[in-house]
Amino acid sequence: MTKPLRLGIAGLGTVGVGVVKIIRHKAALLEARGGRPITISAVCARSRVKDRGVPLDGYDWEDDAVSLAQRDDVDVFVELVGGSDGPAKAATEAALRAGKDVVTANKALLAHHGQNLAQAAEKVGAVLRFEAAVAGGIPVVKALTEGLAGNDIMRVMGVMNGTCNYILTRMESGGLTYDEAFAEADGLGYLEADPNLDVGGIDAGHKLSLLASIAFGTQVDFDSVELEGIGRVSIEDIRQAADMGYKVKLLGVCQMTGRGLEQRMSPCLVPATSPLGQLEGGTNMVVIEGDQVGQIVLRGAGAGEGPTASAVLGDVIDIARGTRVSTFGQSSGSLTKPKPAITSTPAPYYLRLMLLDKPGALAKVAAVLGEAGVSINRMRQRSHDQDTAPVLIVTHKTTRAALDTALAAMVGTRVVEGEPVALRIEQL
């Protein structure tokens, strides 16, 4: 009988339990596809007595993840603890030092330490796989590292946080304010313990930095990702976008340009008829543009027990088959240190600002934009009964740097109340 591939699973939350269930219920299928049995030697979690809805008494328990990673009867360490440092990092490093392969769903760990961990894996001939860390059940890592390996990648973009997409689509479909949609998502258990990881764009930014590394052969550089969350998007912005034929999405975009590597995670307007514009609820979507294949669209569940556990098992099966792929698609030594783009690719922008009811106020705003080199495509002033009125502007293509110069200068005009909202209109 072929020697089984023995797993040690650290973390028995939603994803860990999902992995255990698949191994228990689909043992024959996994063996047939992997060419050898897939078994669990031991597990590690905070509580041994918690009822997780799946039998665990047949597995050894370890009190800490590092001890689990070092066991002689563990071939593959499955890290599902989470967090960029602490036990997850210590146990992953311990597993790699011991020459064990690692499968993880931890995007924060790799976004902050991916280069060092990739080097550690290569040093001992181990593999470090992380399909489950990016977009849940969507096999985007495999698509980039394997299926599209013959392409120069031009651009990767996508909606990579289901919670944010749920909030934005509920604002539109239910006519809800941001706070109302946020509370609804929280009540459904969609938000992280620290909600800013979701709505601040950090979670999705981690994922984008990993895809950028694979797509462009660069070292992971999360610190250079431009992050903007969805907290300032209003129901007014949602409605105005719809009137213009757009939807508002928290959109990640990475591309290599003559100015350097662009990595942006921010709320954008996308055409309502595009695949991204039609994406509803908590679903994720990643769009990849290659020089040989053109545009590839991958859509599916971005989180949850089944989809993420499915991604974990996909990596495990590859290891069982003997597939050895470098962490980011090529050797860590060949990954270049990226030069962050100082300015982003020019694009039109949607602006919303509250204009004081003063003579010449609109002219002052137009003048400030013109002085910064920002050309107005169209402008609309909403009717009002107060001392301020919302003004909506769509610019021609401009850089964010020029737009920021104009927005900063608007403060000196003393005709704009509060901070204007600026949303990029992404060309697809």
Q: Which residues contact 360 (CB under 8 A, 6 or more apart)?
A: 415
Under DSSP, is residue 180 helix (H, G, I), strand (E, B) or coil?
helix
Catalytic residue at 337? Answer: no
Residue whose token pair is 């930014």: 205
What are φ and ψ of residue 299, in 5° steps?
-135, 140
Residue whose token pair is 């975009």: 253
Q: What is the 3-state secondary structure (H, E, C) of 219-245?
A: CCCHHHCEECCCCCCCHHHHHHHHHCC
Q: What is the 3-state secondary structure (H, E, C) of 117-160?
A: HHHHHHHHCCCEECHHHCCCCCCHHHHHHHHCCCCCEEEEEEEC
**Do residues 360 and 394 touch, judged by C-beta distance below 8 A?**
no
Q: How far apart are the first and last CA of the chain?
A: 52
Q: To 10 degrees, what angle do helices 86-97 and 107-124 make?
A: 10
Q: Which of 142, 207, 247, 249 is catalytic?
A: 207
What tokens does 112 get? 């902050």
Element (H, E) at 204: helix 202-216
Element (H, E) at 393: strand 388-395
Amino acid sitting at position 74: V
What tokens does 77 get? 């360490």
CA 415 to chain centre: 38
Rounded-to-integer distance, Cα 9 and Cα 104, Å? 10
Rounded-to-integer distance, Cα 69 and Cα 78, Å? 9
Catalytic residues: 207
